[in-house]
Amino acid sequence: MSAPAPFASAPLRVTLNESSGPVSPRFQYALTVEVSAIEAGGAWVRVTNRRPAAAGGDVEAQGSIDDARLRRFVAQIAVAPLDDLVPTDGPRVGVSVNRVEIGGGGVPACAFSYLLNRLETPEGERARDVVEAIKALAAEIAPLG
């Protein structure tokens, strides 16, 4: 089965916002990835990665991907809606709540929040695949490490 056409209903928009939370300053980061397929034939990817100077400093970059790469990306993120991976009970002191939003482009609308450690659980497997696909695309535009 082929990937859905990225413009089947409305332009594809994907946003990932992830941060390290309150950790030692040398390990802190805040990553934002935005994917916008606004015209046939590809998409724009914008990456903002706030990180300490020891880790290479802040990175802001944008670039384009072609239609073939966009279709592979859509196939990776086209999953049924995912549940939030943020526990509603118990304390969450010292953790960041991260978010992914996906819509348009023939992909089922999907938005979920997650804690980094919850991606490593069995119930976080599908969400982890989506987050990793977004980060892999971002890494093609700018270094994330």
Q: Which domains does the chain have, with CATH numbers?
A: 12-139 (3.30.1560)
Of all helices (H) and strands (E), which one includes residue 138?
A: helix 125-139
Report the C-alpha gap between 9 and 37 in whole angstroms.
12
Token digits for 41?
């034939």
Of all helices (H) and strands (E), which one includes residue 30?
A: strand 30-39
Percent over 90 (pLDDT), the chain? 38
pTM: 0.85
Is-contact 131 102, C-beta < 8 A?
Answer: no
Query: Residue 10 — pLDDT band, cuts 50, 70, 90?
Result: confident
85-126 pLDDT, tens digit per residue, is 888 776 666 678 999 999 887 777 889 999 998 899 999 999
16-25 pLDDT, tens digit per residue, is 999 987 888 8
Token digits for 67?
């239609």
